[in-house]
Chain A
Amino acid sequence: MSLIDLKLHEAADKLAAGEVTSRQLCEALLARVDAVEEKVGALVSINNERVLAAADASDARRASGSSLGRYDGLPITIKDNIVEEGEESKCASSIIDGLVNVYDSTVVRKLKEAGCVVFGRANMDEFAMGSTTETSQIKKTCNPHDLDCVPGGSSGGSAAGVASKEFLGALGSDTGGSIRQPASFCGIVGLKPTYGLVSRFGLVAFASSLDQIGPMSKDVRDSALILDIINGEDEKDSTALPGKITDFEASLEGFDIKGMKLGVPAEYFEVEGMEADVKASVQAAIAKLEAMGAEIVPVSLPHTKYAIATYYVIATAEACTNLARFEGVRYGNRYTETDDILEMYNETRSRGFGKEVQRRIMLGTYVLSSYEDHKYYHRAQKVRTLIRQDFEKAYEQCDLIVAPVAPETAFKSGESSEDPMKMYLADILTTSVNLAGTCGISVPCGQDSKGMPIGLQVMGPALGEKKLLQLAYAYEQNAAVELKEVEL
């Protein structure tokens, strides 16, 4: 077994046992990056020297008996929209080019305090706006299971890199499905935590009331491990929930699925474009869970069909203000061929932002405009309430909800990029969780006839992560889903 095949928790055990050093781990991964990155395109950037320096520092701590703990020396990759001091966080755009960050995001600070090595920056859709990673201005990311296919998005680089074994685990961000959908497309595990469980300080905002950072990993245990590191209150984020949970990983064992009620929402299986393979695979996973002892109950999430419209109104409204700061005045790429400040703004932004980002900025500006008397925005806020209430009612009848992550598996590159509507509709099964502020995880449950991975989505109530991870772990252990080996 090669070091790149290790799970994070296995690597942690080996580091603790002295069987491997952080440098050895990182060197093995850097060699893997050298070998396959050209094909996969998972990373926006990686600073080998910085990685190895951090690894050496960790090894030195262990050698001198001052290890920072179980996670010391673990390499973890971050999505390009997460801020690290001394690095650029381009958000796969060209508009912020040149801004070397002067601060650390809270998650990066927590990773560093735990001794983790920040192992490069993963590619993404520009400003996390997309579901295929094709809107990245930096590079193309391919699905390791089929290089002609998209890895999903927006955390496509994080997902593809975990699947291609370029890194052991990663942080993604999920605004409308951006962790769960690429995890599903790439056959890995991805968890979108409850809004507020993980600090957003230093996450370049797309939609402030929906964004959450979460783990993306090879297995459920690794997601629990990463979540143990990154969750917790933060005085720099007014929306971060109080407290800190440290036993997500520890509470995976000894969980008994018997008597657990799993809700199945009919609406999630009837959406437009639902592929037969996806439906069958998820239904089989549900049958497996039933066989393991769970009780399956039908639940209804009646406002699911409005989730996309609601999501796009709220997300773009917030986004158009969050992205207003990118205009070339204080940092980044400034258009200098003009003396007119308005023209400087307009050209900087038109050249710096890609088309999808521009569309969403304009949509957001429109829905907030007095031109339409805010009618879409106010209605969307109300429908958001209804969607949240749908979940609250459902969780009165069940502990967790199980459903597909996306109606289809990874598709060929270029299929959706010219038709934004197609891309938007693909988020139908994931956005509701963001609107409700609750949690959800994608766990591999099979593959389609072409061998592309399919994910099972388990959704939980606010702060239901423990149960969510326990169930996902139990499923993973019992179902022992074997995906086709990635060959690069």
Chain B
Amino acid sequence: MSDFDVEHFAKLSRLNINDEEKVTLQKQMNDILGMVNELMELDLDGVEGTNFAVDMQNIIRQDEVGESVPVEKVVATFPDTEDNMNRTPVILEDND
């Protein structure tokens, strides 16, 4: 098992981690992975994974239009607004 790549996963998680935290995190995450690694012991051939917590299917709604939230109420929830739109710093054309 390799060391947890704090930097990579912090970036992917959209978190800034400072150098001091990195050291603590590195140890903590390695410990946690050690625990998680117990899963590697089991022989799981032929076992189906549980994708869903309930044994239900086809929970579908009819195509009916319901009420939307009044625009002034929506806009009031935005941290910053412009012309009833959510104003943000410049969005890069493609950021991943």
Q: Which residues of B sit under 8 angstroms from A327, Cβ to Cβ?
A: 14
A339–B31 Cα gap in the complex (Å)? 37
Residues of A with C-beta under 8 A to B14: 324, 327, 342, 345-346, 349
Q: Which residue of the partner chain, among B29, B32, B73, B80, contacts A424 with CB atoms under 8 Å?
A: B32
- In the complex, which range does the number of interface residues on chain A fall in? 35 or more
Contact A369 to B89, CB < 8 A, known contacts A195-B54, A420-B32, A421-B31: no
The answer to whether B53 and A210 touch across the interface, beta carbons within 8 angstroms, is yes
Q: Which residue of B lies closest to A313 (CB)?
A: B36
- Cα–Cα, bound, A382→B52 (Å): 12
Q: Please tell me the number of chain B residues within 8 Å of chain A, measured between CB atoms.
A: 53
A341 vs B83: C-alpha distance when bound (angstroms): 20
A363 contacts B90, CB within 8 Å? no
- A382–B49 touching, CB < 8 Å: yes
Q: B79 contacts which chain A residues (CB < 8 A)?
A: 98, 328-334, 336
**Also in contact, A102 and B69, with CB within 8 A (given A306-B39, A365-B13, A421-B31):** yes
**Cβ-based interface call for A383 (8 A):** yes
How would you classify the secondary structure of chain A's contact residues: helix, strand, loop or mixed?
A: helix
**Residue from B10, B49, B95 in contact with A381 in the complex, judged by beta carbons closer than 8 Å:** B49
The closest CB in chain A to the CB of B51 belongs to A381
Give which listed residue, B10, B42, B51, contacts A383 with CB less than 8 A: B42
For the complex formed, measure the closest distance between the CB of B73 and the CB atoms of chain A, giving whole angstroms: 6
Closest Cβ–Cβ distance, residue B28 to chain A (whole Å): 6
Contacts of B48 in A (CB 8 A): 382, 385
A15 to B16, CA, bound (A): 54
Please, how many angstroms separate the alpha-carbon atoms of A383 and B47 in the complex?
8
Which residues on A sit within 8 Å (CB–CB) of B90?
339, 341
Most chain-B Cβ atoms within 10 A of its Cβ — which of A308, A380, A382? A382
Residues of chain A within 8 A of B56, CB atoms compared? 196, 238-239, 241
Choose among B13, B61, B95 the residue that contacts A362 (Cβ–Cβ < 8 A).
B13
Interface residues of B in 42-96 (CB under 8 A from A): 42, 44, 47-54, 56, 59, 61, 69, 73-74, 76-80, 86, 88-92, 95
B28 and A420 form a contact (CB under 8 A) = yes
Name the residue of chain A whose CB is nearest to the CB of B6. Answer: A362
The answer on a CB contact under 8 Å between B53 and A239 is yes
State whether A379 touches B53 (Cβ < 8 A): no
The answer on a CB contact under 8 Å between B47 and A385 is: yes
B16 x A359 contact (CB < 8 A): no
B69's nearest neighbour on chain A, judged by CB, is: A102
Q: Which residues of B have CB within 8 Å of A331?
A: 77-79
Residues of chain A contacted by B89 (CB below 8 angstroms): 338-341, 344
- Residues of chain A within 8 A (CB-CB) of B29 are 359, 362-363, 366
Q: How many A-B residue pairs have CB under 8 A?
A: 167
Instruction: Please tell me if the beta carbons of B15 and A349 are within 8 angstroms of each other in the complex.
Output: yes
| Residue contact A367 to B36, C-beta cutoff 8 Å | yes
Q: Quick one: closest A residue to B10, CB to CB?
A: A362
Contact check, B9 vs A362: say whether CB atoms are below 8 A apart.
yes
From B33, B39, B61, B77, A380 is in contact (CB under 8 Å) with B39
- Does A456 lie at the interface of the complex (its beta carbon under 8 Å from any beta carbon of B)? no
> Are B38's CB and A309's CB within 8 A?
yes
Residues of B contacting A367 with CB < 8 Å? 36
A309 touches B35 (CB 8 A): yes
Are B59 and A310 interface neighbours, CB within 8 A? no
Contact of B95 among A102, A195, A341 (CB under 8 A): A341
Distance of A246 from chain B, by nearest CB (Å): 21
How far, in whole Å, are A424 and B76 apart by their CA atoms in the complex?
Answer: 39
B50 touches A102 (CB 8 A): no
A282 CB to closest chain B CB, in angstroms? 25
Measured in the bound complex, the distance between the Cα atoms of B50 and A435 in whole Å is 9
Q: Determine if B15 and A378 form an interchain contact, defined as CB atoms under 8 angstroms apart.
A: no
Most buried by B among A103, A349, A362: A362
Q: Which residue of A lies closest to B52 (CB)?
A: A209
C-alpha gap A376/B32 in the complex (Å): 12
Whole-angstrom distance from the CB of B15 to the nearest CB of chain A? 5
B23 within 8 A of A: no
- Residues from chain B with a CB closer than 8 A to the CB of A312 are 32, 35-36
Contact A359 B12 (CB under 8 A): no
Interchain CB contact under 8 A, B49 and A329: no
| Closest Cβ–Cβ distance, residue A106 to chain B (whole Å) | 15
CA distance A277 to B45 in the complex (A): 40
Known: A327-B14, A338-B89, A382-B49. A305 touches B54 (CB 8 A): no
Question: In the complex the two chains form, is B39's CB within 8 Å of A376's CB?
Answer: yes
**Known: A102-B73, A331-B79, A349-B15. Is A383-B39 also a contact (CB below 8 A)?**
yes
In angstroms, Cα B44 to Cα A382, docked, is 7
Is A471 located at the chain interface by the 8 A CB criterion? no
A residues 303-330 near B (Cβ < 8 Å) are 305-306, 308-310, 312-313, 320, 324, 327-330
Which B-chain residue is minimally distant from A366 (CB atoms)? Answer: B9
Chain A 353-369, CB-CB to B under 8 Å as 1, else 0, gives 10100110111011101
User: Chain B contacts of A239 at CB under 8 A?
Assistant: 52-54, 56, 59
- List 9 interface pairs A-B (beta carbons < 8 Å), by A numbering: A210-B53, A239-B59, A310-B39, A339-B90, A349-B16, A350-B17, A362-B13, A375-B40, A376-B36
Closest 3 CB pairs of A and B: A381-B49, A238-B59, A209-B53
